[in-house]
Chains A and B, each alone.
Chain A
Amino acid sequence: MHDVVIRVRGLRMAYGPIQVLNGVDLDLRRGEVFTLLGPNGAGKTTLVEILEGFRTGWSGEAEVLGENPARAGDAWRARLGVVMQSWRDHPRWRVRDLLAHVAAHYEKPRDVDELLATLGLTEAAHNRAGVLSGGQRRRLDVALGIVGRPEVLFLDEPTTGFDPEARREFHLLIERLAGEEGLTVLLTTHDLAEAERLSERIAVLAAGRVVTCGSPAELARAVQVPSLVRWEDGELETADPSGVAWDLHQRYGGPVPGLELRRPTLEESYLDLIEEARGTRETATVGGTR
């Protein structure tokens, strides 16, 4: 079991009457980039914060680096890197001062100036954290998360506010860290392209449960949803869109007014899966009636 870095079984957590996590199972192997995908309110952040050791009151089993996060100490914490959502801490500190200060908490930290260069922060090194742009601030957060050479890195929506180039740079960095240094990354995002690009495996979390888990290709297959055929007088979801189009042609005896045919994107497939999990999916409306 030594190469399982994070192990979760039957994890449940409720805030008062609201069940946020409903029996989550997960296994993360050393050196893999694992994405937790899900809409807002799916319990992603709660799950991550439990694993980071910031929440108590859950039930079930959770192990990170062989320890129970709720009870693990400083030696354990030194092996984790945490990038939470929307940090705006230490606004008065200068970027380099803050990074050096955080680095001093660890035994063998990365070189601060090298790290600043890697994340494109060299020019901002003497700016105060409070005046950084959104993308710069996020890169500083990532720098703070990895400066201690963690074995496990938690990234909660890390690329929010990145421009495409910064996003690409960031993806390359994560790939490098996971590939060369064996860093295990648990990433949460609602950006499907990012999940597909970065991770070997994706788990979709919806309504407090892992509804599917596997490689991006497996995920795409698992969530096949019907195509949508729409025309002036109605619309129909079907697995056989061209057959439906043909039938409509027959019915209208010629061109179908306003015919539209849409195959689902991965994103739609994913959204459909989410809705299904929520139990709010409406049954397909059958066309022809008004």
Chain B
Amino acid sequence: MNATPLGLRRGWTEQLNLWSDRKELLNALIGTVGTYVVLVLFIGGNNVPGTSVSMAAFMTPGFLAFAVFSTGLTVLPTLIAADREEGTLMRARTLPRGIRVYLTGRAVTTLLTIALNAALVLLVAVPLAGVAAPATPARWFTLVWVLVLGALAVVPIGAMIGSLVSGPKTAAAMLALPAMLLMLISGVMFPLESLPGVVRGIAQVFPLYWQGLGLRAVFLPDSVLAAELGHSRPLGRAAAVLGAWAVGGMVLAPWLLRRVRGR
């Protein structure tokens, strides 16, 4: 079988194996979705000061971005580090096209986890927290491509991090701080306008900023465009940056993983 369909099937089996473990499933969901539900139900009803936008609407794109970001850059590396420790990655190296199949599989599990997170956030947001669903088909389309491209942009980076750290515990410990920092500077928690220019520049190199921007374009009205850098949301540029990360990562990650020793 070709590497891609085999990898897709591998990812599906892997995900079923994971979901059949209830503890793992809860772990995967409680962090992001749980925090979102608590915040949205307690403070979601208030408006963001000086605007007509509810806190819930403001938090929704932020949490979606965070779900993608944390799944790709902390959950995935931890899984890969565990696979390395257990020898699953080494097994892949003993098989023809094994690394490609393995990475495709991990990409599938990550995308499925992100999809589940996003679906749950939306299921809470729209009926319970009163967040307006994307108003037009074009916005739905934007939602989908931003989530997918955003995920594809972080999956290879996550895979590379996972292949470099020494073990699953190290991965979790090492990634928490940089992930939090990037969250803070990427404008998904509060507007970038308030940060110094250098920090804004750094933020715009990383995919998280562009993903947040794309998601705000889906959920926030143009009336709060003033809070964006340059008072606009350039979706074309967002697609280009996310795409560049995705393609660059997909070239680099298999190359790197083939070279990493680990049993």
Contact = CB atoms under 8 A, between A and B. Distances in A.
A94 B10 CA distance: 13
Contacts of A80: 94
B10 A88 contact: no
A77 B91 CA distance: 12
Interface string B64-92: 00000000000000000001001110110
Contact of A89 (B13, B90, B97): B90
B18 interface: yes
Given A92-B21, A104-B1, A105-B6, A74 B88 contact: no
Contacts of A246: none
Given A101-B13, A104-B1, A89 B91 contact: yes
A84 B18 contact: no
A78 B96 contact: yes
B17 A93 contact: yes
A112 interface: no
A204 B38 CA distance: 66
Contacts of A91: 86
B111 interface: no
A237 interface: no
B263 A105 contact: no
Interface residues of B, number: 24
Interface in B19-43: 21
B101 interface: yes
Contacts of B18: 92
Interface residues of A, number: 26
Contacts of A82: 94
Nearest to B10: A101
Contacts of B98: 77, 105
A84 B95 CA distance: 13
Given A89-B86, A91-B86, A105-B101, A52 B13 contact: no
A90 B86 contact: yes
Nearest to A102: B95
A175 interface: no
Contact of A77 (B17, B86, B95, B101): B95
B237 interface: no
A52 B94 contact: yes
A106 B91 contact: no
A57 to B, nearest CB: 11
A155 to B, nearest CB: 13
A54 B94 CA distance: 9
B35 to A, nearest CB: 27
Between A90, A91, A93, A97, the greatest number of chain B beta carbons within 10 A of the residue's beta carbon is seen for: A90
A270 B21 CA distance: 49
B96 A104 contact: no
A36 B101 CA distance: 32
A92 B83 CA distance: 11
The 10 closest A-B pairs by CB, nearest first: A89-B87, A78-B96, A74-B96, A82-B94, A92-B17, A89-B88, A105-B95, A89-B91, A77-B96, A104-B1
17 contacts: A77-B94, A77-B98, A84-B90, A84-B94, A89-B87, A89-B91, A92-B14, A92-B17, A92-B21, A94-B17, A102-B91, A104-B1, A105-B95, A105-B97, A106-B96, A144-B91, A148-B95
Given A90-B86, A93-B13, 7 more contacts: A52-B94, A75-B96, A91-B86, A92-B18, A94-B17, A101-B6, A105-B101
